Structure 1
Amino acid sequence: MTYPANALRRACSFAFVLGSAALSSPAGAQASAEAGQVKTLDQVVVTGVRASNRTSLDSPVPVDVLTQEDLRSAGAVNGELGAALAVLLPSFNFPRQSNSGGSDHVRSAQLRGLSPDEVLVLVNGKRFHTSALVNTDTKIGNGTTPVDFNAIPISAIKRVEVLRDGAGAQYGSDAIAGVVNIILKDAPSGGEVSANYGAYHTKFTPNDRTITDGQGGYASADFGTRLGDAGFLHAGVETSHHAGTNRAGYDTVPDFIADPTPANLALQGRRNYAAGDPPNESYNGWFNAELPLNEHASLYGFGTYTQRHTTGDNYFRYPDSSANVPSIYPDGYLPQSLGHNRDLQTAGGIRGTAGEWNYDGSLNWGRNGFDYDLRHSLNASLGTASPTDFHIGSYAFNQGTANVDANRQLDIAGRPWTIAVGGEYRREHFSTGAGDPASYEVGPVDAPAGAQAGGGLQPQDRADLSRHVQAAYAEVSSDLTDNVFVDAAGRYEHYSDFGGNWSGKLSARWEFTPGFALRGAASNNLRAPSLSQVGYEATTTGYGADGKLVTGRILSVNNPLARDLGAQSLRPEKARNFSLGLTGQLGDAFDFSVDAYQIAIDHRVTLSETIDNDGLEQYIEQNFGVPGVQSVQFFTNAVNTITRGAEAVGNYHQAVAGGKLLLTLAYSHNNTQIRSVQATPAALLAAGADNVLFGVEARNTLTDAAPRQRGSFTARWDNERWGLLGRVTRQGATTRVFDFGDGFEPTQTYVPRFQLDAEVQFHATPRLSFSLGGDNITNQYPTRSDSDINYGGNFPYDVISPIGSNGAYWYGSVRYTF
C-alpha cells in the first residue's frame, strides 16, 4: 500500500510552525472554536472541594479541566480515552504493552508515577469500578486490577476534571495519586456525528522495511432532547475497529531460547514473533438524563456500556521444543490470547433541596466481565490428542454503591461557610471461573502440562470473595478573609475484611497579592488491597525472562503453601500526602501554576518476585503432594516508598491574524525512591530459596520503568474557517532491568525522545468540519534494545517507553454537529 504522506507532512509541519493551538491545561481549559472562546479560566470545577464557587485556577489543589474539544484534539482518533489523557497530562502515563498477558487487553494508567490502582476514577462524581482481569504477566501495573479507562466512551464526555492530589478524606480509598472525574454530556438538544480513519506508516529500521499497518476507523453519534420543561436526555453510541501492528525483529534463534536443531535453525532470519498493538473491535453505548419532579427535586440517571474483543500475541514455540507436538505444528506456533471484555456502569438517584440543604441520594452499580481464551496453542502433555483452542478462565467484578450527600451554606461571622456531610455503603464481589479441562490437565506425555501461553484456571484456583465497606464524611470550607480560603475534610471507612480507618485533609489558598496565590494541602490516604490481590490464584506454563519454560503458581496469601513459604495477611496501603503550589495570572493573556508534592506510602501491595530455586519443586511435592510446581508468587506488603515531584503549566492566549491563539507549556517530574523493604521470610529461606520478596525487577517497576519527566509545548490557532494545531512532547527516559539469575541483571536506559503531532482542521460550514493530522509525524522510536535484552533480536524495542514502538500515525476525520 502506498501512503499519500508528503502533502500531509508538509501541511501538518506548516501548522506546527505557525504555532497553532494548545491543549487544555491544569490552570484552565480551552473551549472549542465553535463556542467562540479560547479558554475558560472561570469554569466552576466540582472535583477537589465541595464549595460551589471554585474554579480551576483558584482551587486550593491542582485540578486539570479538559474539555470535549481538548480530547478530540489530543489525537484520540481510535477512541481511547486513556491515550488522550496521556497526551494532555504530562503526569499521566498510559504505556502500550505487548506480549504482556492481560495488559494486551486492558491497558493500565499511572498518575504521578504511582501504581494504576492508586488513582480513583469517578463518572459524574460517582465511583467507577475496576477491571476484573488481574495483570500478572506485565511490567507497568504488575499485580493490579486497574480501572479500564477505555471502557468509558470518549464521545460521551463533556469534560474531565483531574485532581492531582490525595483525596481519600473526600472520596474514599484508592485516591492516593489523585482523582479523575469524568463528566458526561448533558446538553438538552443538538448532537454530533463523527468518523475517522487512520493507519501507521513507518520506516522500521530493525527490518529495513516500510510498514503500513494498524489500519482502523472510529465512528460515534450522540444527540440530546428535552424531558419536560427543564429535563434532558443525552445518549450516544460509538464503535471502533483496528488491525494490529507488528514491530518484531528477525529471529536469530540463539541457543538460550531454542535448541540448535536443524528444524529450529531453519527459522533464523524470519519474523517468528509478533510485537505491537493488538487487533481490537469495540462497541459502546451511553446515556445521561435528568427529569425534574418539581421545583425542589429531580430524578437523574446515567450509564455506559462497552463490549470489546482483543487479540494478544505470546512467545513463539519452536518446532523442536518440549512445548510442541510436531505433527500438529511442524513449523512451530505462535499462541494468541483472546480477550472478550464486557463492561457496564449505571447509576440513578434523586437530588434537590430541602430547606437550606442541597441533597443527593444515589444507587450506583458497575460490573466488568472478562473471558480469556487461547488459540493456536496446545497442551503438549496431551500429545496428538491436544486441542489447539482453549477457554482458560473467566473473571468478574461487581461493585454496588449507595450514597447520600448533603451540603448547605451557613453565615458565620459575616462569612459564608459551606458544610457537607455524607455516607456511603459499598459491596464488592470478585470471582473467577475455571478453564476447559484440557487447558490445565496433565496428560500421559512427558511434556509441559497445560495450555501453552497461559494454562487454564483450575477448579482449585477459583476465587469467590466479597466484602462490605461503610463510610461517613464531613467537610467544611470558607473564605476566611477576602484573600484566604480553607477547606477541611474528614472520613471514616470500615472494611469488613480490614477494619476501620480515619482519613483527613486540610487545604488552603492565600492570594497574597492580586493575581498571585499560594496553595497547599496535607492529607493521609488509604488503599485497601483489592479482592483479587487477596484471593486470586492461577497456574501457568510459560517462558520466564531467561527464556526457559516454567510451570508456576500464583498463590493467595491464605493458601497453606503460600503461608508455609512466608506469606502474611495483606494490610492496607497508607499514604501521607503534602503539596505546595504557586498560581498566577497576568491580565487576561497569561496564567501559570507550579505545584510540588511528596507522597509517602507504607505497605505497598506488590506481587512478589518469582520464587524458583532448584529445590523448590521437590520441597512442594514432598510437603504438599503437589508435583511439577517450579515457581510460586504471592502478594505482599513488602515495600515502603516515597515519591517527590513537581508540575508546572503556563498558558498564553491572544487574538492573532483574525483568529485566537493559545500556547501551553506543561511539565511534570516525579521521583520514587524505596524507603525500606521487607526481609526474606525465614520460612522461605528454610525451603532453600534465596530469593527476596521484592527484588531488582520489582524495584525497577516502581522507580524507573515509568518516565520521571515529561513535558509538552502545544499551540493552537482557530478562526471561523481553519483550525491549526501543533504539539511537541518530550517523553522522558525509562530504565528496564531484568533478573536472569546467577547475578546476571542486564540493565538498559531508553533515552528521552521528542514527539511531534500536528493537525489541520477545515470548517466547511459552521456545522461540518474535516481534519487531517498525524501523531509522531517524525517517526521517532525508542532506543534500540541491546543483545542482552532483545530476546534474540525478536524484540528490538522495549514496551516501557511512552513514545511506543509503532512509529508515525496518520489520520483523517469528519465531524458534523447539529
Structure 2
Amino acid sequence: MLLSTLRFRHSRLYIALGLGLAVAPLHAQQAADDQQAKTLEQVVVTGVRASGRTALESPVPIDVLTQQDLRAAGAVNGELGQALATLLPSFNFPRQSNSGGSDHVRAAQLRGLSPDQVLVLVNGKRFHTSALVNTDTKIGRGTTPVDFNAIPISAIKRIEVLSDGAGAQYGSDAIAGVVNIILDDAHEGGEVVANYGANHTHFSPTNRDITDGQSTFASAKFGTRLAGTGFFDGGIEVSHHNATNRAGFDTVPDFIADPTPANLALQGRRNYIAGDPESESYNGWFNSELPLTDTTKLYGFGTYTQRHTIGDNYFRYPDSSANVPSIYPDGYLPQSLGHNRDAQVAGGVRGRWGDWNYDGSLNWGSNAFDYDLRDSLNASLGADSPTSFHIASYRFDQTSANLDTNRDFSIGSRFLTLALGGEFRHESFQTKPGDPASYAVGPIVDAPAGAQAGGGLQPQDAAHLTRQVKALYAEASSDITDHVFVDAATRYEHYSDFGGNWSGKLSGRWEFVPGFALRGAVSNNFRAPSLSQIGFESTTSGYGADGKLVTGRILSVNNPLARGLGATSLKPEKSRNISLGLTGQIGSQFDFTLDVYQIHIDNRVTLSETIDSPGLEDYILQHFGVPGVQSVAFFTNAVDTRTRGAELVGNYHIPWAGGQLLLTAAYSHNNTDILHVRATPEQLAATGAGNVLFGDEERNTLTDAAPKQRGSFTAKWDNARWSLLTRLTRQGSTVRVFDFGGGFEPEQRYAARWQLDAEAEYHVTRQLSLALGGYNITNQYPTRSNSDINYGGNFPYDVISPIGTNGAYWYGRVRYTF
C-alpha cells in the first residue's frame, strides 16, 4: 500500500538495473585485514545489539562504506560530507553561498528530513553538533547540525549508515537514521596520501573558461601493536581549498540599487561572488586499545579539527545607505571569516564480568566557532566606522557517561541476547556578543546600524543554557526459529528542561526461502529541541530576500517580546516510523535490498518565517516599548509532516578480464507532505495581514527544496595493477520558492541532471599507487535561474541543486602504504 503511493517517475531505469542485477546492500566489506575486499559477510555493530549479524541479516537497512569507497568518492579536499553524498543516494549535502554561517558549516540531510534529525556516532559514541546556528540558509535553516567535515576522513575504517528510526536504541535525534563512523584500528603499518585538484569549466553565463577551486590535501597515519592484542593508531590531515566564483554580470536593476551614475557605472561587471568559500583545515585523530587482563580492555579515541573559512556576502553599492563613500568609493563586498575548532575525546573500559559483557565510557565533545567580518562597515558610524569586526562567539559542549551491558541467555536450543544500559549527558550552549562597533547605533540616523553582512550579537542577545539528560534502555533479540529473528527495544529519557519521553522499537526478519527474506520495523522516536533553538537570539541589519535593508531580531521563545507575539515553549518532535523490506541473495554474486518506509513527524521545530509587516514596528513600540524592530522570527513547533519513500541498493560482482568487476545500483525516492500547520497566533495576526509562522518559503524548504529522487550506477574493476571506476548519478529535480511580499512569490523548478564521475588508479608497486579522476566531468550545471530570482543576473544558478554550481572538477592522488 505504501509503495503504491510513491511516485516513481523517472525511476524505471534504476529499478530495472537493480532488479535485473538482483543486487545487495551497498558496499558490504570483509571483516578481515584487507579493508578493500568486498563481501556480504561484514558483521555490523549498528542497529541491533545482538552480535555476529551481517548487513544482509539485519532487520533494518544498513549501508557499509569502506576506506576505498571514501577515497574514490571524489572528496579530495577531505570533505567527509561530500563523500557520503556521492556514495549514498538518500544523503544530501548541498553547497551554500552568500548564506551567512552556512558558508562555514554545511548541513546534511538523510531521507529528505532536517539536518538535526540524524544521529552521528563515532565508534558507537554520540558525536556532538556544531555550535553555529544556521539562520541565513535554505536547507537546514534554524538548525545546529553535526559538522561531518570535522571528522578526519583518513581516520575512518568504515561507516555504517542505519536508515531507520533508532530512538529506542540510541536516543534523541535518530528519527531519520544513524551514521556510525568506525575509526581505523590497524595493528601495524600506515599510509601517506597527497591529493591535488581544481575546477576547470566553461561558464556559460559569462562565456568564460574558468580554473579555480584549487585544492590540496595531505594525510599521514600509522598503527602499532600494544601489549600483544592492543593497538594505537593516529594521524594528521592538512587541506586547503581555494574559493570558486560563479557570479554573473550585474545588471544593477533599481530593486537592488538606486539608479545613480555611480551605481549604474557598475553594470556589466562581476560585483558579486557566488561559490565555495576559501577554507584551510588542520585535523588530528587517534584510536587505541590496551589489554588490562585477559577479559578487560582500556580504550580511548579522539578527533580534533581546526578550520578557517572565508565566505562572501552581498555587494554594497557606492550610492547606498549601507555605504560610506569616503571609505568605499566604489562600493564593497563584505567577507565573513569563520574560525571553527572541534574536538571529541572518549575513553572507557570494556570487558566481561561473569556472564555479562560491559562497556563503561566517558565521552566529551565540543565545538567553538568565532565569527568575524572584514571589508565591511557600520554605516551609522560614518567615516569613523572600522572595516573589520568580531561578530559573535558560539560554543557547544556535550559530556556523556554511558554504561552498556549485554549477555546471552539459553532458551532451549536458542539464545536470547539481553542488553541493558544507561546514560547521563550534560549539554551546554553559549553565545557571546561581538565588538561594540559591530552592533553600535551611530549618529548617522538615515543609515542602517550594525556591521554590514551580519550585525554583531548584542549583550542582550547573549545566551548560556545548560541541561542534563538521563536515560535507561533495554533491548532483547533472538532467532526464535532457524528463519525468524526478532529484536525489541525500549528507552526512557528525561530532559531537565522539558521532561521525559518513552520510545520503543520492534523489528524482525523472516527468511521465507533460502537467500530471500522479508524485514521490517515499527518504532516511535523523538528529537529534543536543541539548546540553540530554545535560547538563541540575534539582532541584525542586512538585506532581505527582496534586496531591501531591514533591521530584524531572532527571538528566544522565552523572550517576553516573542511571548507577546504568540511564541510558546518548544515541544520535542515525535515520529512514528514504519519500514518494510525485501532482501535476496543468489549464489555468491547477486544480491539486493528493497526497502519502503513512512515517517510521520509531529511538532517539527522550525524557525518561523521572517515577520515584517508594515505595522510590526509600531505594534512592538506601542506594546513593548522597544523601538526600531522591523522584522522578527522565533522558533516554533509549526508543522506536522509525513515522509514516504523507498530505497533500492545492490551489487553484482564477478571475475572479469583478469580482475574483479563490481557493479552497484542504488536508488532513493522520498516525498514529504505537510499534514497540519499551526494557526497564526492572535497576537501575531494583530500586527498586520499576512503574518504567518509557517509560510510558503518554509513549506518549500521541507517539501521540494531537496531532491526527491536520486540514483546511481557504478562500475568498478580491479586487478593487481589497476583500479578503474565509473559512476553515473542522476541528481533529482528541486524547486525554489521566494516570498518577496505583496503577493509576489516567484517559483522555479531546477531540472534533474546526470553527473558522470571517473577514476583510474595504477599500483606502481604493492605500496605506491597513483590515481587520476574527475567529478562531474561532463561539466553539468543546474537550470539557469530566471530573472525573477537571479538577483539582477548576479546569481545565475541556485545553491539548492545537488549537482552544485562549480562545473567539472579534476584531481590526482598519490598514496604510499607501509
Q: TM-score, normalised by structure 2?
A: 0.96
| Structure 1 segment 13-52 matched on structure 2, within 5 A | 26-30=25-29, 35=34, 38-52=37-51
Structure-1 separation of matches of 2:30 and 2:787: 49
Please tell me whether the aligned partners of residues 597 and 644 of structure 2 are also in contact (alpha carbons under 8 angstroms). Answer: yes
| Structure 1 segment 685-764 matched on structure 2, within 5 A | 685-764=685-764
Deviation for aligned residue 1:30: 4.8
Structure-2 separation of matches of 1:156 and 1:474: 31
1:487 corresponding residue in structure 2: 487
2:674 corresponding residue in structure 1: 674
2:3 corresponding residue in structure 1: none
Structure-2 separation of matches of 1:239 and 1:282: 6
Please tell me whether the aligned partners of residues 38 and 661 of structure 1 are also in contact (alpha carbons under 8 angstroms). Answer: no
Please tell me whether the aligned partners of residues 35 and 157 of structure 2 are also in contact (alpha carbons under 8 angstroms). Answer: no
1:814 corresponding residue in structure 2: 814
Please tell me whether the aligned partners of residues 27 and 591 of structure 1 are also in contact (alpha carbons under 8 angstroms). Answer: no
| Structure 1 segment 635-646 matched on structure 2, within 5 A | 635-646=635-646
2:345 corresponding residue in structure 1: 346
| Structure 1 segment 107-122 matched on structure 2, within 5 A | 107-122=106-121
SS class of match (2:448): coil
2:322 corresponding residue in structure 1: 323
Please tell me whether the aligned partners of residues 309 and 340 of structure 1 are also in contact (alpha carbons under 8 angstroms). Answer: yes
Structure-1 separation of matches of 2:279 and 2:588: 45
Deviation for aligned residue 1:688: 2.6
Structure-1 separation of matches of 2:35 and 2:96: 40
Please tell me whether the aligned partners of residues 38 and 660 of structure 1 are also in contact (alpha carbons under 8 angstroms). Answer: no
1:359 corresponding residue in structure 2: 358
Structure-1 separation of matches of 2:139 and 2:24: 26
1:60 corresponding residue in structure 2: 59
1:177 corresponding residue in structure 2: 176
Please say if 1:800 is aligned against 2:778: no
Deviation for aligned residue 1:690: 2.6
SS class of match (1:576): strand
Please say if 1:426 is aligned against 2:425: yes
Deviation for aligned residue 1:517: 0.2
Please tell me whether the aligned partners of residues 615 and 689 of structure 1 are also in contact (alpha carbons under 8 angstroms). Answer: no
Please say if 1:168 is aligned against 2:167: yes
1:658 corresponding residue in structure 2: 658
Structure-2 separation of matches of 1:281 and 1:714: 31
1:224 corresponding residue in structure 2: 223
Please tell me whether the aligned partners of residues 713 and 728 of structure 2 are also in contact (alpha carbons under 8 angstroms). Answer: yes
Amino acid of the structure 2 residue aligned with 1:280 = S
Please tell me whether the aligned partners of residues 651 and 662 of structure 1 are also in contact (alpha carbons under 8 angstroms). Answer: yes
1:615 corresponding residue in structure 2: 615
SS class of match (1:86): helix
Deviations 1:483-527 (A, max 9, x none): 000000000000001101100000000000000000000000010
Please say if 1:466 is aligned against 2:466: yes
Structure 2 CA distance for partners of 1:61 and 1:168, relative to 1, 3 Å? same
Deviation for aligned residue 1:686: 1.8
Please say if 1:512 is aligned against 2:512: yes
1:82 corresponding residue in structure 2: 81
1:213 corresponding residue in structure 2: 212
1:140 corresponding residue in structure 2: 139
2:11 corresponding residue in structure 1: none
Deviations 1:596-622 (A, max 9, x none): 000000000000000000011122222
2:600 corresponding residue in structure 1: 600
Deviation for aligned residue 1:340: 0.1
Please say if 1:523 is aligned against 2:523: yes
2:560 corresponding residue in structure 1: 560
Amino acid of the structure 1 residue aligned with 2:677 = V
Deviation for aligned residue 1:628: 1.4
Structure-2 separation of matches of 1:241 and 1:226: 33
SS class of match (1:35): coil
Amino acid of the structure 2 residue aligned with 1:70 = D
SS class of match (1:563): helix
SS class of match (1:373): strand
Structure-1 separation of matches of 2:230 and 2:673: 51
Structure-2 separation of matches of 1:414 and 1:30: 30
Deviations 1:284-320 (A, max 9, x none): 0000000110001010000000000001100000000
Structure-2 separation of matches of 1:745 and 1:139: 16
Q: TM-score, normalised by structure 1?
A: 0.96
Amino acid of the structure 1 residue aligned with 2:71 = R
Structure-2 separation of matches of 1:514 and 1:104: 50
Please tell me whether the aligned partners of residues 431 and 465 of structure 1 are also in contact (alpha carbons under 8 angstroms). Answer: yes
Deviations 1:727-781 (A, max 9, x none): 0000000000000111111000000000000011000001100000000000000
Structure 2 CA distance for partners of 1:282 and 1:36, relative to 1, 3 Å? closer
Structure-1 separation of matches of 2:208 and 2:62: 44
| Structure 1 segment 492-507 matched on structure 2, within 5 A | 492-507=492-507
Structure 2 CA distance for partners of 1:37 and 1:628, relative to 1, 3 Å? closer
Please tell me whether the aligned partners of residues 616 and 689 of structure 1 are also in contact (alpha carbons under 8 angstroms). Answer: no
Deviation for aligned residue 1:39: 1.4
Structure 2 CA distance for partners of 1:623 and 1:510, relative to 1, 3 Å? same
SS class of match (2:86): helix
Of all paired residues, the percent bearing the same amino acid is 78
Structure-2 separation of matches of 1:805 and 1:628: 38
1:293 corresponding residue in structure 2: 292
Please tell me whether the aligned partners of residues 46 and 160 of structure 2 are also in contact (alpha carbons under 8 angstroms). Answer: yes
Amino acid of the structure 2 residue aligned with 1:291 = L
SS class of match (1:684): helix
Deviation for aligned residue 1:149: 0.1
Structure 2: where are the runs of 5+ without partners? 1-20
Structure-2 separation of matches of 1:25 and 1:95: 27
Structure-2 separation of matches of 1:203 and 1:542: 33
SS class of match (2:205): helix
Structure-2 separation of matches of 1:383 and 1:360: 61
Deviation for aligned residue 1:561: 0.5
